[in-house]
Amino acid sequence: NGVARCNLGNEFLQRGNLDEAVKQFREAIRLESAVSFPYNGLGTAYARQAKLDDAIAMFLKATTLDPGLEAAHCNLGKAYLIKGKTAEAIAELKTALRLKPDKTEAQAMLADALIQTGKASEALPYCEAVVNAEPRNAHAHFVLGSAHLSAKRLAQAVVNFKIGRASCRERG
């Protein structure tokens, strides 16, 4: 059945076998075309294969079938961000966060996108939320440092860059 194929696709995704994941998700869609999860999974596999246009098409289908699937909105936002479609990325990431306000991945990507568009002050709360949720997340500290730097808060930027660097060293 479609659910079993979707589960197999997720297993292959986790193992990095993207070609087999694609096959399983396609079969899941053939069996149950009105379910959003296999489209999101197929989009994820395509994104990992750097087939971003195909990934975006699958994420859009997933969000059309289930507008409440925050993972698909987050994935779509990430794909848009990679493609340089920052405005679209911001919209999708904000939708993901309306659906799941504590999703740190979406918060971090949204902060990155906002900083890219010169909206550092709007990015700060998202950066701070990620740092509060994941105090050892080096990337979050670097993004928060960038937001402070863009907002001309040099002292806070330096502190966060140093914490980020220290977190990287801890990881080895």
- Give the tens place of pLDDT for each residue, 34-49: 999 999 999 999 999 9
Dist CA 170 CA 150 (whole Å): 27
Residue 120 has pLDDT above 90, yes or no: no
Quick: pLDDT tens for 40-85. 999 999 999 999 999 999 999 999 999 999 999 999 999 999 999 9
Computed over every residue of the chain, the mean pLDDT equals 94
pLDDT band at 170 (very low <50, low <70, confident <90, very high): confident
Quick: pLDDT tens for 146-159. 888 988 889 999 99
pLDDT of the residue at 66: 98
Dist CA 66 CA 82 (whole Å): 23
Residue 121 has pLDDT above 90, yes or no: no
Residue 172 has pLDDT above 70, yes or no: no
pLDDT band at 10 (very low <50, low <70, confident <90, very high): very high
pLDDT of the residue at 151: 84
The three-state (H, E, C) secondary structure of the chain, written as one string: CHHHHHHHHHHHHHHCCHHHHHHHHHHHHHHCCCCCHHHHHHHHHHHHCCCHHHHHHHHHHHHHHCCCCHHHHHHHHHHHHHHCCHHHHHHHHHHHHHHCCCCHHHHHHHHHHHHHCCCHHHHHHHHHHHHHHCCCCHHHHHHHHHHHHHCCCHHHHHHHHHHHHHHHHHHC
pLDDT of the residue at 54: 98
